[in-house]
Amino acid sequence: MTEKTQKEYGLWQSPITPEMLSGAVRLNDVQWARGGETLVWSQSFGGQTTLYAKLPNKTAYPLTTETNKPGGGIAYGGGEFFAAEDLVVFSDKNGRLYLKSYDDEPAFPLTPGFGASACPVLSHNKSFVVYAHSYDGKDFLAATKVDGHSWPVILEQGADFYLNPTLSLDDRHLAWIEWNHPNMPWDGTSLKLARLDPKTLTLNDIQTVDGFGKYACYQATFSPCGNYLAWLANTDELDDLILLDIKSGKKVTLISQKSLIQPAWIAGQHTLAWAPDSLAIYFIENEMGKLSLKKLDLLNLNKPENKLETVQLGDFTHLDQIAISNKNKIAFIGESYYQAAQILTQDDEGLKTIRQSQSEELPKEWFPKPMAFSWQGSDGANVHGLYYPPTNPNFTAHGAPPVITMVHGGPTATEYDSFDMTNAFFTSRGYAVFRVNYRGSTGYGKSYRDALRGNWGIVDLQDCLEGTQALVHAGMADPERLVIMGGSAGGFTVLNALIHHPGFFKLGISRYGVSNLFMLEEDTHKFESHYNTSLLGSLPEHHDQWQARSPIFHANQIKDALLIFQGSVDPVVPQSQSDSLVEQLQANNVPHLYRVYEGEGHGFRQVENIVDYYKTIISYLTSILAPTQQEE
């Protein structure tokens, strides 16, 4: 083994360039074509989403062209396609549904282009499609014939949101998730079940099966035999896997109080899947940020030692979009701390990679292995995060390293033990990365998630500060070289950290961070129109609280250096929020840099902008944290 060179943290040479961070493909979804072995997936690069298909023993090929823009138009996207036996149904960003066969025929439009659609499901007899539709501020459960000449019909209306419809084998039962304001989908939904007339496309005998608007239900799915409906429900602190016998109406809890549900920011998530013989169910479980795939044998429910097993999927610790073929072949999107996202399949011959998100590969030793880090807050709460130490096979240094505290957005989201080239970009240069799952994050129980209700701007800030301080006390962070970084809701926490605790962090890095909560409320969309109220209290009653927690009204207290990055067409946090903040920084002579990326929205997609973003950050880190040295 080559002896490592001693060199100050932050000045290590790294092969991980900004260009490498800009070149990744985003893998969105993967499905097996119903009843077959064709694999279909969705991937995005540079703002363009493309559907791909791979037939058995054939090379993968694109299904859609640049003239098509697949993408679900409800919530934050997702649920863009459904893979059937010989064709795909997909939602386009123009609001229309299309049929696309697996040959080279062009996509065929099914619906007129108005509103937005998501979560299409083709009937088993292939005569109609059920989907979620949104138009002019109202949401519906809709259906359309596949002839392309019939006007779509409304199956159900009256709720604020409809998502993830699913059809039984005989097309005569339809289940879906719906919910109403002020709930977000993780607060409370209703799982509905109805009889469907496939000829008239009408519903009857509609019943609420679970949730009742009081707790979240998630991803209902019919068994391949058509006799059962399975779903996940956040019935208490954690989640249950529940089974309904359609004929008898008997309901049984198969798995109780495990972390199984992801926050439904996007449509079309599937972390639950049936075996083709309907004798087993697969589901993803979250254990302190590590995800694993479980298989529940329904024949052995009376033998606890036999009923549940962990499916071995190599070193992958983050799993998403589980699908099972009619030959019991598993497909999923997998990641680990050193393996970028990839679409994989597994059968008796083992794991096989179908598509990788990252074309350039580096040896495992360049990637930091995360360490679960928990601490007790000043109010007695146990809080959690993931710590990534400086990692470079060629360099080492003495003492505690500089730390970049990363604050996730949402704020109802979470940090997983997964791949993020950003981690290695910084740790390979001698920085530690600390990803905080502050209270409000998912995966640690309902009480942990709900602790942010009414406390946004307080608890998230407290947990990020005290977690970073706990690292300092443990000798894992240099108190003189601390940085805080986050986007959107994470940027909001960054700004508040600099305002209320000047000098603690030497640099703040905010991507399209929320600075004015009142403007956020004015610019919000339907999906989040009551979200801020749950996090901050209602207006006008809690006006003073909103103002006290809005960074823009306290920006004159910022003294530490700040980098601000903003998209010019961001619909969630418009450029005007960052513009107003920068005006105050300029007036107060606060060291800062402001970058506005033209044409970018809530997240950066253009390669040149991503490259500039990381080059700018590393330049500032070097100058501020190691001002007396220059990188070689």
pLDDT (tens digit per residue) in 390-430: 999 999 999 999 999 999 999 999 999 999 999 999 999 99
Which helix (H) or strand (E) element contains residue 579?
A: helix 575-587
Give residue 632's pLDDT: 40
Of all residues in the chain, the percent with pLDDT exceeding 70 is: 98
Q: State yes or no: pLDDT of 174 exceeds 70.
A: yes
Region 301-305 average pLDDT: 62
Residue 304 pLDDT level (bands cut at 50, 70, 90):
low
Region 260-279 average pLDDT: 94
User: How many other CB atoms sit within 10 Å of the CB of residue 628?
Assistant: 5
Distance CA 323, CA 344 (A): 11
Residue 626 pLDDT level (bands cut at 50, 70, 90):
low
Give residue 216's pLDDT: 96
Give residue 631's pLDDT: 42
Residue 388 near residue 430 (C-beta atoms within 8 A): no
Residue 302 pLDDT level (bands cut at 50, 70, 90):
low
Partnered with residue 98 across adjacent β-strands are: 90, 109
* Of the candidates 138, 120, 132, 231, the residue with the CA atom closest to the CA atom of residue 181: 138
Region 597-626 average pLDDT: 90
Residue 227 near residue 201 (C-beta atoms within 8 A): no
Which top CATH class is 392-411+437-625?
alpha beta
Partnered with residue 239 across adjacent β-strands are: 258
Is residue 435 left, alpha or beta, with left meaning phi > 0 and alpha meaning psi from -120 to 50? Answer: beta
Give residue 455's pLDDT: 96
pTM exceeds 0.75 = yes
Residue 185 near residue 198 (C-beta atoms within 8 A): no
Q: Which amino acid is at 75?
A: A
Residue 183 pLDDT level (bands cut at 50, 70, 90):
very high
Give residue 572's pLDDT: 86
Give residue 329's Cα distance to chain centre. Answer: 25
Residue ranges of alpha helices (H) inside 60-215 are none
Give residue 81's pLDDT: 97
DSSP 268: -
Counting beta carbons within 10 angstroms of the beta carbon of residue 198, is it exposed (0 to 12), middle (13 to 18) or buried (19 or more)?
A: middle
Spatial neighbors of 361 by CB under 8 A, at least 6 apart, are none
Of all residues in the chain, the percent with pLDDT exceeding 90 is: 85
Q: Which amino acid is at 564?
A: I
Q: State yes or no: pLDDT of 305 exceeds 80.
A: no
User: Minimum mean pLDDT among 146-150, 395-399, 535-539: which range?
Assistant: 146-150
Distance CA 424, CA 24 (A): 14
Query: What rounded mean pLDDT belongs to the chain?
Result: 93
Residues 130, 329, 245, CA angle at the centre, nearest 5°?
Answer: 50
Give residue 359's pLDDT: 76
What is the layout of strands, in order, in the sheet containing 251-258? 217-222, 228-233, 239-245, 251-258
CA distances from 309 to 285, 293, 324, 510 (A): 12, 9, 16, 43
Distance CA 414, CA 436 (A): 8
Region 76-92 average pLDDT: 94
Distance CA 324, CA 271 (A): 11
Which helix (H) or strand (E) element contains residue 562?
A: strand 561-567
Q: State yes or no: pLDDT of 150 exceeds 60.
A: yes
Give residue 301's pLDDT: 66
State pLDDT tens for residues 15-32.
999 998 887 899 999 999
Residue 605 pLDDT level (bands cut at 50, 70, 90):
confident
Region 543-558 average pLDDT: 95
Region 209-219 average pLDDT: 95
Give residue 148's pLDDT: 75
Region 94-101 average pLDDT: 94
Q: State yes or no: pLDDT of 265 exceeds 80.
A: yes
Give residue 176's pLDDT: 98
Region 141-149 average pLDDT: 91
Where is pLDDT greater, at 204 or 522? 204
Q: State yes or no: pLDDT of 239 exceeds 70.
A: yes
Q: Domain residues of the chain, as ranges? A: 271-359, 392-411+437-625
Give residue 357's pLDDT: 93
Residue 147 pLDDT level (bands cut at 50, 70, 90):
confident
